[in-house]
Amino acid sequence: MIVPGGGLSPDVKWKERGKKFFLPAKVMSRKFRGKFLYYLKQAKLDLNGSQEYLAELSQFDSLLNTLYHKDWYVYCKRPFKTTLSVLEYLGRYTHRVAMSNHRIIDYADGIVSFKWRDYKDGSQEKVMKLPALEFMRRFLLHALPPQFTKIRHYGFLGSAVKANKLRLCSKLLNFLRPEKIVLSTLELIKKLIGIDITVCPSCGHTLSKRALPLTLP
Ligand SMILES: [Zn+2]
């Protein structure tokens, strides 16, 4: 989650955060614990998917109790470098597919072999083999149902008000909004994987961009 360091006040002024954090980490931790456990309690009624983890449902209440008595920590820190690096960091999670192609190493006789990391066993890399259908089932668990969105915006970034409010914010902050940068497919691929696919990896010959069968989406 990214929270801006300020916002619009009701009398339409830009309100800057103070010298300290926008929200005290301790308050946020408690709030987070409260909300999380509240919804966990609600989910108790619908636990079919998780019963293997909670072998006995009767243990659920004592688990909840333990969790209420623990101090929770919300990891909250200033942006490491610039705002842009924060966005890039988050973008790696929000705009990536559940499994990258290079982890899939083989497909034979209806069985998919892929690399995975076993965090319970010293983060070792292992190979798992699954029937293709089971592999697809698990992969598709990561695909959101129709009308679900992965990214939500609130406040002055809410889609209903964004156009006007962002303009207002940049006016109040005396900030020129940058031009939208539109990359071509080739530029985007180069930026994402760091490889110029118009250059042959073996002889270094550059392919004419017109010869590439790429169409812009
Ligand atoms: Zn070549």
Instruction: Report pLDDT for 217.
Output: 45
Tell how far the Cα of 190 is from the centroid of ligand 1, in angstroms: 18
Tell how far the Cα of 208 is from the centroid of ligand 1, in angstroms: 13
Report how far residue 185's alpha carbon sits from residue 52's, in angstroms, rounded to the nearest whole number.
45
Domain, as residue range, for 102: 98-141
Tell how far the Cα of 201 is from the centroid of ligand 1, in angstroms: 7
Tell how far the Cα of 59 is from the centroid of ligand 1, in angstroms: 63
Tell how far the Cα of 207 is from the centroid of ligand 1, in angstroms: 9
Q: Is residue 127 part of a domain?
A: yes
Instruction: Report pLDDT for 96.
Output: 75
Q: Is residue 128 part of a domain?
A: yes
Q: Is residue 84 part of a domain?
A: no
Tell how far the Cα of 185 is from the centroid of ligand 1, in angstroms: 22
Instruction: Report pLDDT for 216.
Output: 46
Q: Which tens digits make up the pLDDT trace of 123-141?
A: 889 999 999 999 999 998 8
Segments in the chain below pLDDT 50: 216-217
Instruction: Report pLDDT for 136.
Output: 94
Q: Is residue 112 part of a domain?
A: yes
Q: Is residue 155 part of a domain?
A: no
The total domain count for the chain is 1
Instruction: Report pLDDT for 211.
Output: 60
